[in-house]
């Protein structure tokens, strides 16, 4: 019998009551155990994912391991079985919503979770992961939809082992990628290599989304998202949301390093880093997660909401799907057909090109030669503009020559962005700030002020060197900053050059 008609049926000792949600790999039902007088959640795996000969043995092995996990931050699995070709797991049913729902609620309001709640949620997740990792279990599919926030104020991990159970089928791989590539480590998406550090990468993505209200990498297709995880530099959180405490950004940068060896090596290590960051930022970590407004509003229904796989019912409703999730698989399959062959082909090409290095060093977006020509063209173009403006003010060079400092600084900023070298920042800063000094001298005519302003040169030089060395001390951060800071400095130098030209036009 099709899983779409399970309501009213019995699976073993459990009476199926109603569907709760549906995702790429399973459907979840609310069920009742009459002898124990207990409501439970039953996850029924999709039939097309379990039709290979090796699945049943793998399912029993993984389900046994998951059922042996006993931790307050991991959803409890009570039972598992196969009946009438229906493969299912029985889990505890908790009152609450998912982290995905909570983040969506805050996103709609243009707000973010309170800092303390962010850390509390992640510490709960990491506590559960530390236990599971010690037991030899890797989650493989950590995402906000698999983090349940209970009315007890806890974060609980769901879907342990599901990705591993069904990971051997073609549809499952693509179906899982469709739903989770935003949170998947490069080596997992590209080569299906999973260990403790792939789970921690996913936790880092969740932290990034909590801080900025969006995942760091997104695109129109799963393949494009995967390639961004592998190759693109991480958009710095504080450039997206300047209010983020700097210690939190430091945790994100380490957790989301392309190379697994450069990430946190254990859940306990990452948890300690979060504790330290919260202390440095002066943020108090609550013992429990704050309850959302919906938990305290009497007008809202009080029945349990349980989402243990994929999208929750609210998301399904927003997509025009009914509570059975009947439209989910059709949507997945349509995209799977278009994407899976391209994903496999691209995987082979990338593996061959990058010589078995999943996350090789971030590659420049533009060759050095092309970047050099572009930077020269920038300087030449600025000078040609000055020549053209001589028709308006023949003395433009007398007051406008400091524009040369800004143009050279901008050219070097372009080079820094292209070659990903943070050391360009020293001459860039020296030229940039001296440009403003010389604009003051030529416009005011007070060259004699050099006598008491010259100590500023010491501050400019020392400050430029100190800032660059501090950024270069973290190799991962330096690579990212060289690109993003280079683009930002380029914009500012061009604006400064434009202002300098305007001043020179109207100052005799």
The residue ranges of DSSP E strands in 412-504, in sequence order, are: none
Please, where are the H alpha helices in 354-508? 368-388, 396-400, 403-419, 425-444, 450-453, 455-472, 475-506
Using alpha carbons only, give the angle 345, 349, 354 rounded to the nearest 5 degrees.
150
As beta bridge partners, residue 96 has 150
Q: How many Å apart are CA 99 and CA 118, to the nearest integer?
A: 10
Looking at the DSSP bridge assignments, the partners of residue 74 are 157
DSSP for 116-152, written as a single string: HHHHHHHHHHHHHHHHHHHTT-------GGGEEEETT
CA 61, CA 362: separation in Å to the nearest integer? 39
Tokens of 400: 């406008």
Query: CA 328 to CA 321: how far, in whole Å?
Result: 7
Q: Which tokens belong to 59? A: 């399912």
Single out the residue of 357, 147, 126 nearest to residue 264, CA to CA: 126
Q: Alpha-carbon distance 98 to 290, whole Å?
A: 13
The DSSP output letter for 112 is -
Give the whole-angstrom CA distance, residue 61 versus residue 80: 11
Tokens of 14: 């459990």
| Overall size of the chain counted in residues | 508
- CA gap 323, 303 in Å, rounded: 15
Query: What is the number of other CB atoms lying within 10 angstroms of the CB of residue 284?
Result: 9
Q: 336 with 223: CB under 8 angstroms?
A: no
The tokens 């530390």 sit on which residue? 130
- In the DSSP assignment, the letter for residue 287 is S
**Catalytic annotation present for 141:** yes
Distance CA 114, CA 100 (A): 15
At 79 the three-state DSSP class reads: strand
Q: Which of 141, 159, 199, 311 is catalytic?
A: 141
Report yes or no: 481 and 422 within 8 Å, Cβ to Cβ.
yes
Q: Tell me how far apart the alpha carbons of residues 87 and 14 are, in angstroms, rounded to a whole number.
A: 14
Instruction: Reduce the DSSP state of residue 64 to 3 states and report it.
Output: helix
- Rounded to the nearest 10 degrees, what angle do helices 115-134 and 267-280 cross at? 160
Query: What positions carry a catalytic annotation?
Result: 141
């Amino acid at each position: 019998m099709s899983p779409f008609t399970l309501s009213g049926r019995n699976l073993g000792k459990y009476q199926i009551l109603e569907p709760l949600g549906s995702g790429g790999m399973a459907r979840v039902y609310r069920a009742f155990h009459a002898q124990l007088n207990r409501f439970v959640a039953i996850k029924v795996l999709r039939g097309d994912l379990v039709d290979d000969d090796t699945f049943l043995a793998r399912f029993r092995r993984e389900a046994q391991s998951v059922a042996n996990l006993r931790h307050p931050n991991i959803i409890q699995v009570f039972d598992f079985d196969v009946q009438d070709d229906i493969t299912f797991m029985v889990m505890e049913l908790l009152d609450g919503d998912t982290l995905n729902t909570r983040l969506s609620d805050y996103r709609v309001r243009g707000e973010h979770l309170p800092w303390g709640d962010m850390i509390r949620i992640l510490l709960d997740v990491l506590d559960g992961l530390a236990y599971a990792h010690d037991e030899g279990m890797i989650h493989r599919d950590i995402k906000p939809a698999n983090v349940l926030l209970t009315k007890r104020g806890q974060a609980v991990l769901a879907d342990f082992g599901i990705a591993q159970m069904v990971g051997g089928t073609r549809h499952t791989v693509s179906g899982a990628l469709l739903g989770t590539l935003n949170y998947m480590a490069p080596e997992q998406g590209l080569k299906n290599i999973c260990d403790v550090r792939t789970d921690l990468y996913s936790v880092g993505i969740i932290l990034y989304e909590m801080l900025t209200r969006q995942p760091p990498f997104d695109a129109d297709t799963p393949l494009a998202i995967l390639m961004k995880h592998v190759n693109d530099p991480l958009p710095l959180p504080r450039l997206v949301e300047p209010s983020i405490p700097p210690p939190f950004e430091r945790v994100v940068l380490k957790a989301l390093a392309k190379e697994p060896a450069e990430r946190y090596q254990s859940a306990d290590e990452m948890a300690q880093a979060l504790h330290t960051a919260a202390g440095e930022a002066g943020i108090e970590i609550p013992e429990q997660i704050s309850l959302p407004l919906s938990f305290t509003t009497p007008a809202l229904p009080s029945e349990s909401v349980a989402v243990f796989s994929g999208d929750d019912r609210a998301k399904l409703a927003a997509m025009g799907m009914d509570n059975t999730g009947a439209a989910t698989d059709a949507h997945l399959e349509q995209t799977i057909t278009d994407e899976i062959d391209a994903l496999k082909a691209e995987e082979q090409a990338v593996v061959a090109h990058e010589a078995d290095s999943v996350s090789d060093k971030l590659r420049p977006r533009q060759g050095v030669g092309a970047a050099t020509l572009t930077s020269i063209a920038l300087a030449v173009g600025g000078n040609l503009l000055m020549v053209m403006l001589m028709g308006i003010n023949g003395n433009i060079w007398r007051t406008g020559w400091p524009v040369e400092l800004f143009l050279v600084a901008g050219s070097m900023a372009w080079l820094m962005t292209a070659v990903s070298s943070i050391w360009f920042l020293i001459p860039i800063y020296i030229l940039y700030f001296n440009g403003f000094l010389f604009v003051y001298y030529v416009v005011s005519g007070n060259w004699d002020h050099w006598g008491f302003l010259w100590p500023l040169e010491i501050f400019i030089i020392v400050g430029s060197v100190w800032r660059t060395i501090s950024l270069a001390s973290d190799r991962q951060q330096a690579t990212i900053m060289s690109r993003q800071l280079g683009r930002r400095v380029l914009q500012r130098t061009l604006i400064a050059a434009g202002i300098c030209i305007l001043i020179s036009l109207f100052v005799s």
